[in-house]
Amino acid sequence: MKVLVTGASGFLGREICRQLTARGIATSSLCRRPSTPLEHLGVQQHLGDLTDAGAVSSAVAGCDAVIHNAALAGVSGPPAPYWAINVGGTRHVIEQCRAHQVRTLVYTSTASVVFRPGGLEGVAEDLPYPRRHLAAYPAAKARAEALVLAAHSPELATVSLRPHIIWGPGDPHFAPALARAVLARRLLMPGHGGNLVDTTHLRTAAHAHLLALDRLQQSPAAGGRAYFIGQDDPRPLREIVHHFLAAAGIDARWCAVPPRLATAAAAVSDTWLRVIRSPRTHALSRFLVTELLQPQHFDLTAARRELGFDPPIGFETGLAELTRTTPSAPDDSKETSCRKRTSSSAPS
């Protein structure tokens, strides 16, 4: 079997490739630039962009299965780039899977495709998409997921996985964004952080993709569904943030911003970014603030029952590993990181 992984040079994509090659599976990738870690894993690398149908066709040719992990992620920014990459790129992947008679397609979605004001508390996959998404990223990912699930057929078995806040050693998104937001040992955050949030360790997320791949190859008729995945260990957001910062050697105090004030500031930011046509994908936004204020945890029964899913690593074990492998932040970064650059937490 030969498996193509799109976005393989990214955080999750690289771990998926590591687990595939550890099994002895011939693995190839479609990325925009060469990757030394993928070279060390023995992954065949195709360079190209999802928006280029020819590049996608060349990468898909000769493969038996595709794990479509590449996407533009963000909490702000105009719709066009998200639609071009996440929706248009996914269309190209589906079309080329059909053209090259690929039998299996696993798609990396996100729990944010069903996120709405009020949050997600123990929700299952029967929860419909909201009538209106809070940002272009979840809207585009929801549309792409719908395309993947609609493409399920006897010729092409498809499945979609919905992780939330992927973290672990080498995390370039969530934990570093928190670290950059610390100023003078204070972290300004909307609300008091008591909302329960489930997360997904990097190895858990990659493991779920391989389980889905196995399941579709054993029983193609089991496809056409989306599955929430995670640690199944929801914790208060404030606790999660404390652990991630502590793993980086950062001692910061949570400073609660009243929700109404944070939401108003985000609305102003959204309006201003739209007026100046800013392309920034990680600016303060209503989507980000709402996600940070609301609970987000999920019923994983379907993934357990139909994929045989169980997190291969617990939260505490993963945290200990993160602490061992994350370089401590220098003292001056704790004081000045916010002055140097402004960032925000990456979506999952």
Superfamily of domain 2-165+201-231+295-312: NAD(P)-binding Rossmann-like Domain (3.40.50.720)
SS3 46: strand
pLDDT class for 330, splitting at 50, 70, 90?
Answer: low
> Domain residues of the chain, as ranges?
2-165+201-231+295-312
Summary mean pLDDT of the chain: 93
Nearest C-alpha neighbor of 279 from the set 72, 118, 113, 124: 72
Mind listing the pLDDT tens digit for each residue in 72-95? 999 999 999 999 999 999 999 999
pLDDT class for 348, splitting at 50, 70, 90?
Answer: low
Q: What percent of the chain has pLDDT over 70?
A: 94
Active site residue 129: no
Torsion of CA 154, 302, 132, 286, to 10 degrees: -130
Higher pLDDT, 335 or 241: 241
pLDDT at 132: 95
Nearest C-alpha neighbor of 65 from the set 31, 22, 106: 106
Q: How many CB atoms lie within 10 A of CB 255?
A: 11
Torsion of CA 76, 114, 7, 82, to 10 degrees: -40
Strand-strand pairing, 157-162 and 196-197: unpaired
pLDDT at 101: 97
pTM higher than the cut 0.75: yes
pLDDT at 326: 75
340 pLDDT higher than 70 = no
Strand-strand pairing, 104-108 and 65-68: parallel
Place of tokens 């092409």: 156
User: Which residue among the candidates 82, 107, 137, 227 is catalytic per the annotation?
Assistant: 137
Mind listing the pLDDT tens digit for each residue in 268-316? 999 999 999 999 999 999 999 999 999 999 999 999 999 999 999 999 9
**Strand spans (E) along the chain:** 2-6, 26-31, 44-47, 65-68, 104-108, 120-123, 157-162, 166-167, 186-190, 196-197, 200-201, 225-228, 235-236, 253-257, 296-298
pLDDT class for 337, splitting at 50, 70, 90?
Answer: very low
**The dihedral of CA 84, 87, 93, 98: what is its sign?**
negative
pLDDT at 345: 39
DSSP 206-247: HHHHHHHHHHHHH-GGG-SEEEE-S-S--EEHHHHHHHHHHH
Instruction: Report the pLDDT averaged over residues 53-66.
Output: 98
Are 342 and 286 within 8 A, CB to CB?
A: no
pLDDT at 289: 97
Strand-strand pairing, 225-228 and 296-298: unpaired
Q: 89-99 vs 136-150: helix axis angle to the nearest 10? A: 20
Instruction: Report the pLDDT averaged over residues 192-214.
Output: 98
Number of alpha carbons in the 13 Å side-chain half-sphere of residue 346: 19
12 pLDDT higher than 70 = yes
In sequence order, what are the beta bridge partners of 108? 161
